[in-house]
Every structure is written in structure tokens, then in C-alpha cells.
Amino acid sequence: MTPETSIAPGGTLGILGGGQLGRMLALAAASYGLKTHIYAPDPESPAFDVAARHSCKPYDDEAALIRFAQSVDVVTYEFENVPRRTAEIIAAHAPLRPNAAALATTQDRFTEKSFVAGLGIPTAPFAGVGSEADLQHALREIGRPAVLKTRRFGYDGKGQVMIHPATDVADAWRTLRGAPCILEGFVPFEREVSVVAARGVDGSFAAYDLCANTHRHHILATTVVPAGVDDATERKALAIARRIAEALDYVGVLAVEMFLLRRGDGEELIVNEIAPRVHNSGHWTIEGAETSQFAQHVRAVCGWPLGSTKRRGRAEMRNLIGHEVDSWAELLQEPGAHLHLYGKARAQPGRKMGHVTRISPEHAHPGEPV
Amino acid sequence: MTPETSIAPGGTLGILGGGQLGRMLALAAASYGLKTHIYAPDPESPAFDVAARHSCKPYDDEAALIRFAQSVDVVTYEFENVPRRTAEIIAAHAPLRPNAAALATTQDRFTEKSFVAGLGIPTAPFAGVGSEADLQHALREIGRPAVLKTRRFGYDGKGQVMIHPATDVADAWRTLRGAPCILEGFVPFEREVSVVAARGVDGSFAAYDLCANTHRHHILATTVVPAGVDDATERKALAIARRIAEALDYVGVLAVEMFLLRRGDGEELIVNEIAPRVHNSGHWTIEGAETSQFAQHVRAVCGWPLGSTKRRGRAEMRNLIGHEVDSWAELLQEPGAHLHLYGKARAQPGRKMGHVTRISPEHAHPGEPV
């Protein structure tokens, strides 16, 4: 650690964004004796409730952003859609970690896919689409089924439409209202996996074991670790994440979502998406690993050494979406169920309200009492 | 759980006291989706930094106490020296858990020892002392060496003086400035142990494994679990804690400090002190048990079911006192060392600045790499 790049306990971590990720980051920072200052426009941001200070201001309020940056020792973010101008203003007044390039690369699906493909890492076939004519052309190249997605601001399945053989192309194009898009070939994947990993200021790298994810209605439902893939596949996945982190000169925790394809006897990986932040598929690390992804991100952005990513057993994380959170009282009665609630006021459909993690011994057989 | 006695996530936990115990309670409450409101007179209270709301007011400000109690769903405390009148005001406007009787019993060493002895639980010989003549009399009964302690407001060795055979009794009496005192016979104990346990609103009881503690300069230095005592001794210790909790109609986490004496081949326990709150000797539970003592206290005072107290391995907790906290950077480099810092501004001598917990596998042999 060098004094120019590292923050001492007692210092203040600034966080852009006040959702559950910012909240869990703030809790981890507090355990290390740091103060946090949350910047978010929503007055009901759940992270405000656990921070020493908050600024409830829009992301384009230049004066507020400068005051915020000057009040903290380092700034990080909990979401990738931080506007470019916001990141520039912050970076001019405080260290921004991860850097603005990581944001710019990952908040545009076309830029992101081009970056990944440029590293020689497999992706689904893709093409940029700016008009209905582009879309027609791209569909001839890529074939159907394919997925048309807005280049920016998509998450949890928002801003995308599936194009089947029978889909009317003009209709599909109109659905996304003329926003700049990317067309991605549909890949018949067997499973979705993700690597959650961290890179330090000194270039050190530490990945958690590969996560196997399931989704419902395009929202992460469960994560299970270990993922149960071939050792060679797991090593390859971790190497891909490291290559991406290094190419971005990344500092902090990132997640790389991948599709696992089965080709004959072998497993193949293609990269679907990069999240330049702590990630829902890493929530199991709170109880399931020596260092949680939130503590790890704090260590990285403070310029501290990365912690151990060693697992403490087999982990299963389940999201509590919308009214699933109403089961909190039963979950509290289940020994070994670790309940986390995010302090959100209303349980709207599709809203992530909390999660529950269960850890079982490494060598337990299915059905064995633990 | 019944609606009258239980608090739902989204509710607010009020905490009297803003030190590290209040801070760690607030962090645990946040993980369950609760808001916290801290009441403490010190503007530099570290718990303020992680709470949704705080009241920086003296403990005798009746109007502020009423506003505080009315703003929350349940009130708890992180220290036993809450004034009686403060507790009464709070209890008139909100559920106070643990109850005011637990405070009254444990904040006076003489009342506490009389209560414990009244349950038929062994203690050191003791006598109330209100004058130098009382002290002379008590010394003839109890013998020397003995320890003269103020009945109230003592902690970490403050407010006590050892009376050796050569000590001048008048001097000793003057040292404590005429405060009401208790004289305790000095017990040649082999080890200090503690039980950290919880009792729920429904009378359920759950204890962590017995903790073995070492002190330096009267301040807790280390806690090791398991304590390495006979199974029968451990069962007896847990039964004593349960008896005390039940007699107090206690709700929440409490700690019972005991001395372990060796009499011939056997082990004997005597109760030294009761702490009606989460306790330093329970900090290892954050990583070392299924449910941390802080999460457990939140569960209990919210009227929720108690969590599992199962251990995750052998635990060793070491306090970072005063400038010991300067080793934070080295501790961050040690794999498996879980560093906790309390966000206190200045590292004064004797001040608890943080702690570090190391967990090793249950059956590891000393010196074996883990």
C-alpha cells in the first residue's frame, strides 16, 4: 500500500447510487471503520439509512457532485449507468474506482461486446443496429432467433425483444422506439454462470469460485456455488474475467456473466455481459466466503490488499422478489437460512427486496441433514 | 410471533448508547431491513454513522427521550449504566428490551451479587460497604486479599482497589471517595470464562459455546472458543446463564462472566458479573457462529425466533486497544484474519478501537496450516 493510493480507516468512501448494493457496500465499509457518503437522487434510497452522510441530488447537479467528491477520499458506484459527464466531474475531484473507462465500456452493450470480442474472447454473434434497415440486414447475417436490445440502460430484461422466425421486424424495431440497439444471435446455452472477482490498485487479482445462476422473468432467481462445471472450464472462466479486468485497468469487484454451451462432450463459454460493480450473483459471499464481495470491493477501492476468496462450504443464494419477501418470518425460523432484507418501503412486483443464503458442508450428499 | 410483541422489517429499533456495541447492533439490524435510531449524548458516537437517525441528547432530557421512544418500535441499550429514570421514561412510551429490572439489578454490583446468590448460584464472598467502619468489619469477615469496588459505574477495572494484607484500609476507602461500595473476597481462579446467550420474548433460550477470556490491565484482551473445560462444567455454566435470564424475565443477549476454580480434580464456577447486553466476549460470533450475537439480540428484542448459535470452527478474538489498531494494514494482509474497526476518531490508551477474529477448523492441531 502506498499513501498516495490508499485510504486509511476513518476516511470516507463515496458511493454513487443508493440501492441495496450501495447499502451492503456501506455496511461492509463501516465494519472497516470507514464513513460513507451516498449520492443518489431517490429520497427513499435504502443506503441512506446506513451512511454517515448522504446527498439526495440528481446526477447532473454539477455543484452537488463537486461538493460530494470533495467530501470523500475515494468514489465508487453501485450501478453501471452512471452518466459519462457525472463520472468526469467526479474523477476531476476525487479518485474514481473503478475508472470511468470501465463505465463507458460496460454501459453500452455494443461497446462492451466489441471490447470483449476485441480481446479474442468468444461472444454471441452481434451487430450494431441504428435503423429498421440495419435490423433487416443484421438478421440476414445473424439469423433467427435473435435478441434485439437497446445499447444502453437495459437491466433485468428491460429494453429487449426476442425476434423469432414469425416476428414482424418492423414491429420489433418500433417496440424499442428507435433507440440505438444491438442485435445478438440467440445462443442455445445449457447454463448461465458468472465470475465475481476483484482487482486491486496494485494489479493483484482474486476471483471467487464460479457461480451457476438461474433466472426467472429475466431476473436472477438463484445462485449456486460450486457451479459443477469441468475444472478446465472453471479455470477458463476465471482467466477470462482476469483478462477483462486487466484490459480495463480495473479496480474493485466486477462480475462477468457467461453462457455455458455444450458442444459434443466439451463445455464452451461465451461472455454475455460485464457488470463493473458488486453483483447479485456474489451475495452468497457474505456468509459463504472468507471475505464478502462487499468487503472485497471496499478493500480494492481503498487501495488495500485483497482478502481471501476461499469458500466456507456449498452456497445457495435465493433472491426474494416482490412479495416473496413476505416469507421473512418463516425464513427466520429456519436454522441455517441467512436472511438479508434491504429496507425498501414497498414490495413491488419484480423488485429485489432481499435474499436468503444457505451454506452446507462441502462434501454433503444431497438430502443429508447438515 | 404475535403481532403485539413482534416488530416487522421496515420498523425502527431504538438504541440507547452510541459506542461500538450500538454500532454493531445497528449494522445487524440493517441486514434485517430495520432502521435504527441511536440516542447518545456524545456527538462523536460511532454508531451515529450507520444509523438512519440519531438524537444527540443527554440521558436526562425527558422531552427528547419521549420523542425518541415515540419514533421507534422497540428500544434496547448497549450499556448497563442507563439511569433508572431514563429507563422509566422510555418504558412508558415504547417496549424496553431487556426490561428495566435487568438494568436495575445489574448496574449495582451489590444488588447483582445479592440477586445471583439469592438464586443459589455461587459467587465470591461479598458485603455491602457504606463507611470505613463497614469496610473494617467486612474485611474481618471476608479476609484479605479482597477487592473493594464501587457499587455503580465501574467497568474495565475503573472504580476498584485491591486490598492486600499490607494495604492501609483508610487509604483504600478514601481512594473510592466515599461512594457506596462492595467488598469482594479475592478468588484464586484458574481462568475467566463467559456465557453469551439470548432469551426470546417467548421464553426460548439459546447459548453460544462457553468463551475463555484473558484480560490485560482489567480490559478484555482475547476470547477463545471452545473454552476447553470439562463438558459437565460447560453444561453447568450454560444452565447458570439460563437460570439468571429466566429469573430476570430477560429478553435479548446477555453475558455472564464467571471464574473457573480448580478444587482438587474438579472444576467449580462462580459468577462474577452479568452484562445485560451484547458483550465483547461475543464478538467472535460475527464470523464464528451461524448467527452473530448482534443479529441474535436484534431477533430477540424484535420478538423474532432466536437464530442458531452453532459454531463454525474454533474462534479466537483479539481486541485492538489504543494504538494496537495501528496494525490494521498488516492485519488486512493476513488471510483469515477478520478485521473490525469501530470508526473512533482517536486511539487513546485503553480505548477499544477494533478487534480481529481468526477462525480455524474444529479439529485442527496446533500449528497446522489452515
| B118 in a structural domain | no
Q: Are the Cβ atoms of A329 and B1 closer than 8 angstroms?
A: yes
Beta-carbon count within 10 A of A321 CB:
22
Instruction: Give the CATH number, domain containing residue A179.
Output: 3.30.1490.20
Q: Are residues B195 and B278 in the same domain?
A: yes
Contacts of residue A317, defined as CB under 8 A and 6 or more positions apart, other chains included, come to A222, A223, A224, A281, A283, A284, A288, A355, A356, A357
| B21 in a structural domain | yes
Instruction: Give the CATH number, domain containing residue B35.
Output: 3.40.50.20
A22 touches chain B (CB under 8 A): no
Q: Are the Cβ atoms of B33 and A341 closer than 8 angstroms?
A: yes
DSSP type of residue A324: G
How far is Cα A112 from Cα A247, in angstroms, rounded to an integer? 12
pLDDT in tens, B137-155: 999 999 999 999 999 986 6
For residue B260, the number of C-alpha atoms closer than 13 Å in the C-beta half-sphere is: 23
Does the pLDDT at position B324 exceed 50?
yes
How far is Cα B2 from Cα B242, in angstroms, rounded to an integer? 23
Beta-carbon count within 10 A of A133 CB:
11
- Are A50 and A22 within 8 A, CB to CB? no
B26 chain-A contacts, CB cut-off 8 A: 50
Q: Which residues pair with B285 in a beta bridge?
A: none
Contacts of residue B262, defined as CB under 8 A and 6 or more positions apart, other chains included, come to B190, B268
How far is Cα A325 from Cα B228, in angstroms, rounded to an integer? 41
Over residues B72-99, mean pLDDT: 97
How far is Cα A234 from Cα A194, in angstroms, rounded to an integer? 10
Over residues B310-334, mean pLDDT: 97
pLDDT in tens, B205-220: 999 999 999 999 999 9
- Are A113 and A185 within 8 A, CB to CB? no
Q: Are residues A55 and A144 in the same domain?
A: no
Q: Are residues A167 and A227 in the same domain?
A: no
Among candidates A248, A265, A210, which has minimal Cα distance to A104? Answer: A248
| B370 in a structural domain | no
How far is Cα B173 from Cα B161, in angstroms, rounded to an integer? 9
- The beta-carbon neighbor of B49 closest among A48, A52, A299 is A52
| B51 in a structural domain | yes
Say which residue the cell 482474486 belongs to.
Answer: A206
A69: cell is 467528491
- The beta-carbon neighbor of B10 closest among A50, A305, A345 is A345
SS3 A319: strand
pLDDT of residue B162: 93
Q: Are residues B229 and B319 in the same domain?
A: yes
Q: How far is A26 from chain B (nearest CA, A)?
A: 8
Interface confidence: ipTM more than 0.90: yes
Kindly indicate the confidence band of residue B370, based on its pLDDT and cuts at 50, 70 and 90: very low
A126 touches chain B (CB under 8 A): no
Decide which of A77, A96, A115 is a domain's last residue.
A96
SS3 A152: strand
Does the pLDDT at position B287 exceed 60?
yes
How many residues comprise chain A?
Answer: 370
Decide which of A165, A185, A205 is a domain's last residue.
A185
Distance of CA B203 to the CA centre of its chain: 20
Q: Are the Cβ atoms of B27 and A27 closer than 8 angstroms?
A: yes
Task: Dihedral sign for Cα B195, B200, B202, B206, please.
Answer: negative
How far is Cα A31 from Cα A9, in angstroms, rounded to an integer? 10
pLDDT of residue A158: 76
Which range of residues forms the domain containing residue A158?
Answer: 125-185
Q: How far is B293 from chain A (nearest CA, A)?
A: 14
- Are B23 and A30 within 8 A, CB to CB? yes
pLDDT of residue B57: 98
Q: Which of A50, A339, A341 to probe by mutation at the B interface, max B CB count within 10 Å?
A: A50
pLDDT of residue B3: 58
pLDDT of residue B363: 74
Say which residue the cell 414490495 belongs to.
Answer: A347
Beta-carbon count within 10 A of A316 CB:
16
How many domains are contained in chain B?
Answer: 3
Contacts of residue A195, defined as CB under 8 A and 6 or more positions apart, other chains included, come to A207, A208, A210, A211, A237, A238, A240, A241, A255, A256, A258
pLDDT of residue B368: 46
Q: Where are the alpha helices (DSSP H) in chain B?
A: 20-31, 62-70, 84-93, 100-106, 109-118, 132-142, 169-175, 231-247, 285-288, 293-301, 328-333
Over residues B116-133, mean pLDDT: 97
Over residues B244-262, mean pLDDT: 98
Decide which of A158, A185, A212 is a domain's last residue.
A185
Among candidates A48, A50, A96, A90, which has minimal Cα distance to A70? Answer: A90
pLDDT in tens, B5-42: 799 999 999 999 999 999 999 999 999 999 999 999 99
- Are A31 and A300 within 8 A, CB to CB? no
| A149 in a structural domain | yes
Q: Where are the strands (E) in A217-287, listed by range? A: 219-225, 252-263, 266-275
Q: Are residues A247 and A207 in the same domain?
A: yes
DSSP type of residue B235: H
How many residues comprise chain B?
Answer: 370
Q: Where are the strands (E) in chain A, listed by range? A: 12-16, 35-39, 53-55, 74-77, 126-129, 146-150, 160-163, 181-185, 191-199, 205-207, 211-216, 219-225, 252-263, 266-275, 314-321, 337-341, 352-360
A60 touches chain B (CB under 8 A): no
SS3 B288: helix
How far is Cα B347 from Cα B350, in angstroms, rounded to an integer? 8
What pTM value is reported for the model? 0.96
Instruction: Give the CATH number, domain containing residue A294.
Output: 3.30.470.20
Contacts of residue A139, defined as CB under 8 A and 6 or more positions apart, other chains included, come to A146, A163, A169, A183
Q: Which residues pair with B160 in a beta bridge?
A: B149
Average pLDDT, chain B: 95
SS3 B96: strand
Nearest CA in chain B to A296: B332
Q: Are residues A200 and A141 in the same domain?
A: no
Element (H, E) at B253: strand B252-263
Among candidates B157, B150, B275, B162, which has minimal Cα distance to B217? Answer: B157
- Are A108 and A128 within 8 A, CB to CB? no
pLDDT of residue A367: 47
Amino acid at A265: D
Measure the CA dihedral A197/A199/A204/A206, to 10°: -10
Please state at what angle helix A20-31 crosses helix B20-31, rounded to 10 degrees. Answer: 160
B3 touches chain A (CB under 8 A): no
| A365 in a structural domain | no
Q: Are residues A158 and A217 in the same domain?
A: no
- Are B182 and B110 within 8 A, CB to CB? yes
Residue A94's φ and ψ, nearest 5 degrees, are -160, 155
Q: How much of chain A is in helix, strand and coil states, percent to nearest 5?
A: 30, 30, 40
Q: Are residues B305 and B339 in the same domain?
A: yes
How far is Cα B297 from Cα B196, in angstroms, rounded to an integer? 11
How far is Cα B338 from Cα B359, in angstroms, rounded to an integer? 9
Say which residue the cell 485491591 belongs to.
Answer: B162
- Are A249 and A280 within 8 A, CB to CB? no
How far is Cα A294 from Cα B357, in angstroms, rounded to an integer? 18
Q: Are the Cβ atoms of B49 and A31 closer than 8 angstroms?
A: no
- Are B179 and B130 within 8 A, CB to CB? no
- The beta-carbon neighbor of A33 closest among B9, B304, B342 is B342
Q: Are residues B175 and B201 in the same domain?
A: no
CA distances from B368 to A181, A309, B359 (A): 57, 20, 13
Q: How far is B300 from chain A (nearest CA, A)?
A: 11
**Max Cα distance, chain B (Å):** 61
Does the pLDDT at position B265 exceed 90?
no
Low-confidence ranges of chain A (pLDDT < 70): 1-4, 154-157, 364-370
| A173 in a structural domain | yes
Most confident of B9-13, B346-350, B366-370: B9-13
B369 touches chain A (CB under 8 A): no
Q: Are the Cβ atoms of B52 and A49 closer than 8 angstroms?
A: yes
| B365 in a structural domain | no
Q: Are residues A129 and A30 in the same domain?
A: no
Q: How far is B131 from chain A (nearest CA, A)?
A: 45
- Are A87 and A96 within 8 A, CB to CB? yes
Amino acid at B211: C
Q: Are residues B352 and B247 in the same domain?
A: yes
Q: Are residues A162 and A237 in the same domain?
A: no
